[in-house]
């Protein structure tokens, strides 16, 4: 691994200007990295007022943001952060092509299963890294992101062990104030995140857009959340990921510290946007069934979410 003073000076593109893309891209830009944002709905506001990242421990303002309305304007970059919702994946082949040079790296920060496979199919597995964002963020207004917990980022290679470039990218985040680690097993980390995403994103939506505190305060919903966590851990273990059963209680303790947090899927639901149903609920359910597991809780939640998604699409 290179020492810090030898790290490459990445030219970075951020595709997906929701809370995740704005936060991580904003941290990199605040600490002087060359970051180019593909912006649509927030373009005018961010060009005028910049980008602000807030929490109980930070209030950062990026006054001058490299904002663009097309990836062709940005051109080839060393590192491309993909933070669009998975419902936009069909648009990625055309969107990302102008950003890719011979050695460009794609780091997907998306939720659920199958995103690295999708990018590898279109751009080659050699380019693809995955990032797991353990963080509570909300885009409260154009160009403003609120952070509700300390958060951390874990990155890894798609289908392989960490390489020098994996550590280079991690160090780039670390030097910009992001708690970031490298994993030797990216898929296992994806399952760890699903242990939280499946119950809390799902139950928050099907119960009308409630926050995590309301789920924990309701005995029935809290029990459902634990049952869904147990089912998710069982699927992960059935497909060889070896997650401990104690992870469910660990995740419950972490959720308690979030306060009245509304997960990202709730924001999509309340805004009438498409829901990321297949990568977060559908694909884990299919893999669990293929392994011969009975998953009544996840099956019921998936069907409820599908019905809501179809209703929103009408």
Active-site position among 193, 214, 262, 311: 193
Coil/strand/helix, residue 105:
strand
Q: Which CATH architecture has domain 188-313?
A: Orthogonal Bundle (1.10)
H or E element, residue 3: none
Rounded to whole angstroms, the Cα distance separating 282 from 305 reads 10
Specify whether 311 is catalytic: no
Q: Which CATH superfamily is domain 4-184 in?
A: NAD(P)-binding Rossmann-like Domain (3.40.50.720)
What does pTM read for this prediction? 0.92
CA dihedral 246, 247, 252, 257 (to 10 degrees): 120
Q: Which two tokens stand for residue 113?
A: 């299963």
pLDDT by 10s per residue, the chain, length 314: 444 434 567 999 999 989 999 999 999 999 999 999 999 889 999 999 999 999 999 999 999 999 999 999 999 999 999 999 999 999 999 999 999 999 999 999 999 999 999 999 999 999 999 999 999 899 999 999 999 888 999 999 998 899 999 999 999 999 999 999 999 999 999 999 999 999 999 999 999 999 999 999 999 999 999 999 999 999 999 999 999 999 999 999 999 988 899 988 998 899 888 999 999 999 999 999 999 999 999 999 999 999 998 887 64
pLDDT at 314: 45
Rounded to whole angstroms, the Cα distance separating 89 from 81 reads 13
Q: Where in the chain is the domain with CATH 3.40.50.720?
A: 4-184
pLDDT at 2: 42
Angle at 180 between CA 178 and CA 184, to 5 degrees: 165
Say which DSSP state 209 is in.
Answer: S
pLDDT at 54: 95
Cβ contact 86:53 at 8 Å: no
Cβ contact 258:266 at 8 Å: no
pLDDT at 160: 86
Cβ contact 276:268 at 8 Å: yes
Cβ contact 120:141 at 8 Å: no
Q: Where in the chain is the domain with CATH 1.10.1040.10?
A: 188-313
Closest CA to 240 of 294, 187, 295: 187
Other Cβ atoms less than 10 A from the Cβ of 200: the count is 27
How many C-alpha atoms does 176 have within 13 Å on its Cβ side? 23
pLDDT at 159: 81
Distances 189 to 6, 94, 241 between C-alpha atoms, Å: 29, 29, 9
Rounded to whole angstroms, the Cα distance separating 196 from 191 reads 9
Phi, psi (rounded to 5 degrees) for 138? -140, 135
């Amino acid at each position: 691994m290179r020492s810090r003073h030898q790290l490459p000076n990445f030219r970075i593109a951020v595709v997906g200007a929701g809370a995740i893309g704005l936060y991580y891209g904003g941290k990199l830009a605040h600490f002087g990295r060359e970051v180019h944002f593909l912006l649509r709905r927030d373009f005018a506001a961010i060009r005028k007022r910049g980008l602000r990242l807030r929490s109980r421990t930070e209030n950062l303002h990026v006054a001058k943001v490299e904002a663009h309305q097309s990836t062709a304007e940005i051109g080839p970059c060393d590192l491309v952060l993909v933070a669009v919702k998975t419902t936009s994946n069909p648009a990625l082949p055309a969107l990302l092509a102008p950003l890719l040079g011979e050695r460009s790296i794609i780091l997907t920060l998306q939720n659920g299963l199958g995103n690295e496979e999708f990018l590898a199919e279109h751009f080659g597995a050699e380019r693809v890294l995955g990032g797991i964002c353990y963080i509570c963020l909300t885009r409260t207004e154009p160009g403003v992101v609120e952070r509700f917990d300390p958060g951390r980022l874990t990155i890894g290679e798609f289908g392989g062990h960490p390489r020098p470039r994996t550590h280079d990218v991690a160090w780039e985040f670390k030097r910009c104030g992001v708690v970031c680690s490298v994993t030797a097993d990216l898929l296992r980390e994806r399952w760890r995140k699903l242990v939280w995403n499946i119950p809390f994103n799902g139950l928050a939506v099907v119960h009308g857009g409630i926050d995590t505190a309301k789920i924990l305060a309701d005995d029935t919903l809290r029990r459902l959340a634990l049952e869904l966590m147990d089912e998710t851990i069982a699927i992960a273990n059935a497909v060889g990921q070896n997650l401990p059963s104690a992870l469910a209680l660990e995740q419950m303790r972490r959720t308690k510290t979030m306060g009245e947090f509304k997960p990202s899927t709730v924001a999509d639901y309340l805004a009438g946007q498409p829901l990321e149903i297949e990568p977060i609920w559908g694909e884990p359910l299919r893999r669990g069934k293929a392994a011969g597991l009975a998953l009544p809780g996840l099956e019921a939640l998936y069907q409820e979410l599908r019905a809501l998604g179809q209703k929103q699409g009408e």
